[in-house]
Structure 1
Amino acid sequence: MQRIRFELDRDHVELNQLLKLAGLCDSGGMGKAIVASGAVCVDGEVELRKTCKIRAGQTVRLDDLEIEVVAAG
């Protein structure tokens, strides 16, 4: 499984925007479509809320890719 470490420089990021910022899609709209398809898990649970707030300490998974969200600094 491939892992990405994403440094969060604010309180939270919306799930669809995280997918874009991590380079997994080209736009927030595409990120929303990926989330709506049921392909994204947050902390081991399927997440269908496109603008779910992701905070440091959470893990997002899409297919065989895992994004570890950590606080910047």
Structure 2
Amino acid sequence: MIKVQIQTEYITLGQFLKKADLIDSGGQAKFFLEEVKILVNQETENRRGRKLYKGDQVQVVGFDSYEIV
């Protein structure tokens, strides 16, 4: 599991995708979420504005698993 460190209280799913180098720009988040299944704490998620907090686990199917720290 890859650890993604944040300095704020939370990060949005769209920001996370960019920080994890899964997309190049925030504008790509919408299309990425339409094409790739993402699980946040074992639940399917497709909202780029979903807030991720420390301790949340994100699985990007076909890529990797991540933990927000």
Tell me if both proteins adopt one fold, taking TM over 0.5 as the criterion.
yes
CA drift of 1:8 comes to: 1.1
What is the TM-score of this pair, normalised by structure 1? 0.82
Q: Which stretches of structure 1, 4 residues or longer, exceed 3 Å deviation after superposition?
A: none
More strand by share: 1
Contiguous gaps of at least 5 residues in structure 1 = none
- Contact persistence 1:38–1:46 (CA under 8 A): no
Q: Which moved more, 1:23-32 or 1:13-22?
A: 23-32
Sequence identity of aligned pairs in percent?
Answer: 31
**CA RMSD for the aligned pairs?**
1.3
Q: Could you tell me the TM-score, scaled by structure 2's length?
A: 0.86
Alignment length, in residue pairs?
68
Unaligned 5+ segments in structure 2 are: none
